[in-house]
Structure 1
Amino acid sequence: MIDRGRTTESYFAWNPRDNPLLAPLIVGGGSIGGKGRSLLFALESLRRQGDPLFDEVRLPPALYVGAGAFEDFLSDLPHAESLLREEPEEIERSFLGTPLPPYVTAGLRRFLAGVDEPIVLRSSSLLEDSLQHSFAGKYRSTFLFNAGTLDERLSAAEDEVRRIYARIFFPAATSYRKKHGLGYDAMGLIAMRISGRWRGPFYYPTLGGVGFSRNFRRWTTRIRSEDGVLRLVFGLGTMSTKRGYARTYSLTNPSLRPEGLDPYKVMRHAQERFQVIDSRTRALEIYNIQDVWRDILPYHPCFGTFAQVYHQDCEDGYFSSVDRSFMPGREKKLSFTFDAFPKRHKIFFDRMKLLLKTLEDSMGVPADIEFAYEPCEDRLELLQSRPLWDGDDRQGQGIPEVGERRLLLKASRMVTNGSVEHVPWIVYVDHRVYSVSSDFHAIARAIGEMNETMGESRYILIAPGRVGSSNPELGVPVHYNELTRCCCIVELGIPREGYMPELSYGTHFFSDLEVDNVLYMPVYEGESGDIFNRDFFENSPFEAGPHEAIRLIRGDFSVFMCGFKNKGIVVAEALPDERGRQIPSG
């Protein structure tokens, strides 16, 4: 029996400088920060096991810079004490004009002399990747094409280090620290070769993704929390941390899809856009597989393992394998379904189950990883490892009888424990208006504007598709910092309009929801077990929001969620009449 408390203490006390094989990877004094320490701890934990399954698990070449270098840099920065009062542009200008400590420059030069592939520079502050605060998306990670002479590449890397340092003082980070009472932070960082290889003009790994030793948002009661979950994408794994499409696997039953087995629904949830580094633009680019599949097919002998062609017919459609005669069209399209992947790469799932369990046991808390994988060589690169905040200890109050309340929404999947009662507002984004809008981002900003006027009032946000999506056609592209008064998000699935919520567990957006105890549930109109009371939302009295797509409905609303039953409801305790006076909902 593992003593979780003692194990967790040992994890946070661990120092990579005590390992003679890891110490040479570090320059600068002090801690290398949560992100760097967690990654090296993971490597040591796996090597300690001596299991053959971990022989092909490695880290990309990297340099780790201690937070002492940041402190040395600040001591040379003019007027550092006044930076919090400056605008971000002025802060960055001051940082770019200050030289790095010479030992940091020397370390970067040595690293770049051995790496001529694209690299990423990642923040690794002292407060990042703690048990509760991941700082997901609050600091800066940046890609560099890493071309030119060594001096040119070094100069570009130094500038990016300075920009990462500057983010300590940017509003996104300072407001996050203030909100959570975290105080001062100091910045370590990681310079790392990006996982992948050149395939024609594109650089990318075959597969990338995120993994979790616990699944706190089960889509069926046939799955246990301890089974673990993966989100897998073709190409660079950054797509798996955004609210786009990815293949979601339960590690103990990979055949169970959250969207079910209907071919049309599988196609609707399947990835089509993937991210690469393009040598022609020297930038990160996103391509649709329909447009470039012939260019990359020769580099993937096992392409059919994760890609299929969907054929539309009068029934539900069907899938076939890919061949060179395929021509995308209205009735045929290529999708990354990963349908054959579990059968042909069972070792990948065996390794992931053991890896995540090993990391959870070693840290004493659930584990959260990012990875890249080359299936033909069965080679796994670990890109990030950190504690997964365990929000499953929230005690749900069960699901009460609706009784005199009016049932507005009911969900039957991806539900955790939690409840919030007597919420005075619902903010409803009308899917009919949103779908025909010429400016989705204007609606997102209007939600942020409305949020600012709420004062201390809480609200439930109900919107079509994926809230916070980077692709506005999938859902409202609102930023998390525009939802500070929101206590619950309900995503509406309207299949006939193409709005489909998705289990985006592990994305930056979801990380913030978990930490701040913002409840979430998806509701799919027309599906058994789910309820969307369309009459209420379309016909109740409302106040107009700052955009015609936004309705503010005043009342007395409550949310009850039970992870054990995988059930959640939103009910109206009382509603307003036309004169704004509260009336019973019954």
Structure 2
Amino acid sequence: MRGRPKIVLARTYEEAIQIYEKYKNNILGVITDVRFPRVERGEKDGLAGIKLCAAIRKEDPFVPLIIQSSESDNVAYAAKFDAAFIDKNSKKMDVDLRRIVSDNFGFGDFIFRNPDTLEEIARVKNLKELQNILFAVPAESFLYHISRNHVSRWLYSRAMFPVAEFLKPITWSSLQDVDAHRKIIFEAIVKYRKMKNQGVVAIFKRDRFDRYSNFARIGEGSLGGKGRGLAFIDNMVKHHPEFEEFENARVAIPKTVVLCTDVFDEFMDTNNLYQIALSDADDDLILRYFLKAKLPDRLVEDFFTFFDVVKSPIAIRSSSLLEDSHYQPFAGIYNTYMIPYLDDKYEMLRMLSDAIKGVYASVYFRDSKAYMQATSNVIDQEKMAVILQEVVGNQYGDRYYPSMSGVARSLNYYPIGDEKAEEGIVNLALGLGKYIVDGGMTLRFSPYHPNQVLQTSEMEIALKETQTRFYALDLRNAGQDFSIDDGFNLLKLHVKEAEKDGSLSYIASTYDPYDQIIRDGLYPGGRKVITFANILQHDVFPLPRILQLALKYGQQEMRRPVEIEFAATMSREKDKTGTFYLLQIRPIVDSKEMLDEDLTSISDEKVLLRSNNSLGHGVMNEINDIIYVKTDDYSASHNQEIAWEIEKLNQQFLNEGKNYILVGPGRWGSSDTWLGIPVKWPHISAARVIVEAGLTNYRVDPSQGTHFFQNLTSFGVGYFTINAFMNDGVYNQEYLNTQPAVHETKYLRHVHFEQPMVVKMDGKKKQGVVLMPEEQQN
């Protein structure tokens, strides 16, 4: 609205002068009558309009003036002030007015004219056309227009204020150089178009979508959750100039076009798909029906334009209305397909259409229906927008993948060492992000402490707990066998393959089996370990800093903790440059993460366990069992036997699908049996809270569960450290000893309560409590 030209009416000469003074820098033109009142005279002045023109011409020789009068003699004055004249007596007065306003005030097309004959040389409709023709217009015509301010006026009338403002003072008299002028205008347009395309969800127009465009939509409906997230990030990057300040890194979103939800509605209606979709047919049958259906024809040309601009593989992602509903995590319910870039655009069109229909069909697959039911959503309210996005990556032969992809969260509920919860946490991997979503082994670090990566702190952990496989897009698979599984054309490869592709230059370290050490960087021979050492520790690429900014601004502008998906490609030249792409942002809403109470206010009488140094976050209220190591006559020499007993009990819990709380002395999972019980993760995998309880005669610094840290974080297990004898926390073992045991051995007791024990953990403050079962509290 603010960009539309306004018409301001002056009723007297003084008012006209006042308005002109106020708006003179933004006036597209002035239309004046000849006879109207002047206040100081208290009467009509027969030449007020002519005097107004004279006053304006003194200030601005070029602003368009139109004089209208019923006295045709006044045409002489018009010529004097280089104004257009309209005769009020003429039958076609309004037609004349319309034509003159359109020609002179910058509306309509911009017409380059021959200054001598005024005949048309060229005509441009929009900024893109102006940009393309600038250097081809003959110098004398160009000079004629710039010396009369025509270009900036045309821009003003189109509400392109930044460029118009910038160009207005650059007049012929100030510059006197036609070619310099062309260049200045050209660069201003390029800069403006880049700026405009950021943060705006423009409507996709074939003639305007080009390499400066970032984000557009087709259709009028909703963008869906992911679509809105992308528009939000794009805007965020535009508004914070810090993202532009990296010498060797560009921050952007991939080129994106969103098919809004109305395209989905139209597709479902015109092909009569609701009946099969809402039936109990199996997924394959539903997919077959959807693949046979037809997308609207008008999309074909738009898709071809998109292919031409992107020239890379395309990801087809779902963006559903419910996916972002702030209270239910819908992420990952629907499919994401990827298709290779082909020279045969009709073949590519077929693959793209199939993928879009596959995403549409996935709304009605069995899992989605079950999920809808579980979250009490009505499936016919679900509408699907589809995001078409260039896949971030480099091509290596028949494979395509990014140097790294990852997920960053602005809250870290497992801070270790001097990390803080609010500094956030990142999971990083080589290759496509599907590897992370599928729960692969990623590298976990805090963007504020990139030098302290637990997984690479000890050689033994680094060899065991770093990535060994990665996903790449198979460019040879042209999707003939389109299937429900959206990963049908992805390759799961061994890291060795990436080494052959030459994509590990700043990402891997090399294990030297002779010296038994891991060296940062690539060396011949030796296993390659994905450590990202050169990026995290040696700052080859400013990844940690970019992530700090993205998390900071994302959280600030969403006003809640966020999760961001990203990918980055390093240049193939060894020049240490790269591009960081933000792919998705969403608020972190995990039902169990809604914890508002102050745990320190719960009295010690009510708790079985309290830790002031806990990891994990949330509330659990379905655990009725606790297994603890007896401390009377405890000796570390029995730790191996205790481990075997726990393994047996754990297996019973797994078979029954139940969970328990595990309490014991020293470090759980330590390889040194004198420091703690040497369990491995599979032996305690049904435990939901693991407690390290110090003993008077047996003090070990808390380990914070280093040995199965990866599993703690991925399964959301709580880890408590308690030293009750040093008044650090509470461990009410006396009470447990009075309860009947379901199972008791020389070393262990297993107690079952009828009522569940409620576990509450505040990951930000590192507080954790296990409350007494309800029956005991009453």
| TM-score w.r.t. length of structure 2 | 0.53
Unaligned runs of 5+ in 2: 1-198, 479-488, 571-575, 628-641, 663-667, 670-679, 693-702, 722-727, 744-749
1:111 to 2:313 alignment: no
Larger relative helix fraction: 2
* Partner in structure 2 of residue 240 of structure 1: 436
Structure 2 matches for 1:31-42, cutoff 5 A?
A: 31-42=222-233
Alignment of 1:284-303 (within 5 A): 284-289=490-495, 291-292=496-497, 294-297=499-502, 299-303=503-507
Residue among 703, 708, 712 paired with 1:500: 708
Tell me how far apart the structure 2 counterparts of residues 368 and 116 of structure 1 sit (CA, whole Å). Answer: 29
Shift of 1:33: 0.9
8 Å CA contact 2:595–2:762 kept in 1: the answer is no
Partner of 2:201: 16
Could you say which residue in structure 1 is the equivalent of 2:540?
A: 345
Q: Aligned letter for 2:710? A: E
Shift, 1:139, TM fit: 0.9
Task: Say if 1:245 and 1:271, in contact at 8 Å, map to a contact too.
Answer: yes
Alignment partner, residue 145 of structure 1: 340
Instruction: Report the aligned-residue RMSD.
Output: 4.8
2:389 to 192, 211, 227: 192
Q: 1:433 to 1:105 in 2, by over 3 A?
A: farther
2:580 to 377, 380, 388: 380
Q: What secondary structure sits across from 2:615 in the alignment?
A: coil
**Separation in 1, partners of 2:290, 2:753:** 48
Alignment of 1:92-491 (within 5 A): 92-147=287-342, 149-183=344-378, 184-212=381-409, 214-220=410-416, 222-259=418-455, 261-279=457-475, 283-289=489-495, 291-292=496-497, 294-297=499-502, 299-303=503-507, 306-309=508-511, 311=513, 318-321=517-520, 324-327=523-526, 333-342=527-536, 343-345=538-540, 347-375=542-570, 376-389=576-589, 392-395=593-596, 398=599, 414-416=615-617, 418-421=618-621, 423-424=623-624, 460=659, 489-490=688-689
Paired residues of 1:69 and 1:104 also in contact (CA < 8 A):
no
Contact 1:77 1:94 in 2 (8 A): no
CA distance in 2, matches of 1:103, 1:554: 65
Q: Secondary structure at the match of 1:102?
A: coil
Distance 1:69 1:25 in 2: 14
Q: Give the secondary-structure state (helix, strand or coil) at the position aligned to 2:363.
A: helix
Residue aligned with 1:25, SS: strand
Cα displacement (A) at 1:63? 2.1
Alpha-carbon shift at residue 555 of structure 1 (Å): 4.8
Query: Cα offset for 1:394?
Result: 0.4
Give the deviation of 1:30 after TM superposition. 0.4
Matched, 1:49 2:254: no
| Equivalent in the alignment of 1:468 | none
Pairwise CA distance, 1:372:
1.5
- Whole-angstrom CA distance in 2 between matches of 1:245 and 1:216: 18
Q: What one-letter code is carried by the residue in structure 1 that aligns with 2:399?
A: F
The whole-number CA distance in structure 2 between the counterparts of 1:380 and 1:554 is 52
1:77-114 Cα distance to aligned partner (Å, 9 max, x none)? 33614632322233223222221122334433332344
Query: By how many angstroms is 1:27 displaced?
Result: 1.2
Distance 1:246 1:166, change over 3 A: same
For 2:274, which of 80, 83, 95 is the aligned residue?
80
Alpha-carbon distance, 1:279 to partner: 4.3
Secondary structure at 1:128's aligned position in 2?
helix
Normalising by structure 1, report the TM-score: 0.69
Given that 2:318 and 2:386 are in contact with CA atoms closer than 8 Å, whether structure 1 keeps it comes out as yes
The number of equivalent residue pairs is: 491
C-alpha distance in structure 2 between counterparts of 1:411 and 1:174, whole Å:
42
Q: Report how far residue 158 of structure 1 moved.
A: 0.9
Give the superposition deviation at 1:58.
1.7
CA contact 1:122–1:140 (8 Å) conserved in 2:
yes
Q: Deviations over 1:478-501 (max 9, x none)?
A: 9xxxxxxx9x945899x9xx9834
| Per-residue CA distance 1:132-156 (angstroms, 9 max, x = gap) | 3341111111122344621122112
Tell me the distance in 2 between the aligned counterparts of 1:351 and 1:413. 29
Distance 1:18 1:158 in 2: 20
Whole-Å Cα distance in 2 between the matches of residues 371 and 182 of structure 1?
A: 29
Superposed CA deviations along residues 445-492 of structure 1, whole A, max 9, x for unmatched, are x97x966xxxxxxx5368999xxxxxxx9879x9xxxxxxx9x94589
Query: In terms of Rg, which structure is larger?
Result: 2
User: Match for 1:566: what amino acid?
Assistant: K
* Distance verdict in 2 for CA 1:69–1:433, change over 3 Å: farther
Distance in 1, matches of 2:229 and 2:522, equals: 43
After superposition, the C-alpha distances for 1:543-566 in whole angstroms (9 at most, x for unaligned) are xxxxxxxx9977544424242553
Q: Is the 2:404–2:428 Cα contact (8 Å) retained in structure 1? A: yes
Cα drift, residue 166 of structure 1: 1.4
| C-alpha distance in structure 2 between counterparts of 1:339 and 1:23, whole Å | 32
Q: Decide whether aligned partners of structure 1 residues 66 and 231 sit closer, same or farther in structure 2, where only a CA change above 3 A counts.
A: same
The residue that corresponds to 1:4 in the other structure is none
For residues 341 and 143 of structure 1, the distance between their equivalents in structure 2, rounded to whole angstroms, comes to 28
| Percent of residue pairs bearing the same amino acid type | 21
TM-superposed deviation, 1:281: 6.2
Q: Mark the CA change 1:422 to 1:433 in structure 2 (over 3 Å): closer, same or farther.
A: closer
Counterparts in 2 of 1:288 and 1:187: CA distance versus 1, 3 Å: same
Deviation at 1:164, TM superposition (A): 0.8
> Mind listing any 5+ residue stretches in structure 1 that lack a counterpart?
1-13, 328-332, 437-442, 452-458, 466-472, 479-485, 511-518, 543-550, 575-581
Per-residue Cα deviation, 1:408-458 (whole angstroms, up to 9, x for no partner): x98955312x4445744689xx9979999xxxxxx9xx97x966xxxxxxx
Letter in 2 for 1:136: A
CA 1:86–1:18 in structure 2 vs 1: closer, same or farther (change >3 Å)? Answer: same
- State the one-letter code of the partner of 2:225: G
CA distance in structure 2 between the partners assigned to 1:171 and 1:263 by the alignment: 45
Paired residue secondary structure (2:453):
coil
Q: Any conservation in 1 of the 2:599–2:768 contact (CA below 8 Å)?
A: no
Q: RCO (CA 8 Å, sep 6+): is it higher in 1 or 2?
A: 1
Change (3 A) 1:281 1:553: farther
339 and 301 in structure 1: CA distance in 2 versus 1, 3 angstrom threshold: closer
Counterpart secondary structure, 1:307: strand
Give the secondary-structure state (helix, strand or coil) at the position aligned to 2:659: strand
For residues 251 and 214 of structure 2, what CA distance do their matches in structure 1 show?
20
> What letter matches 1:352 in structure 2?
L
Q: Give secondary structure in 2 for the equivalent of 1:195.
A: coil
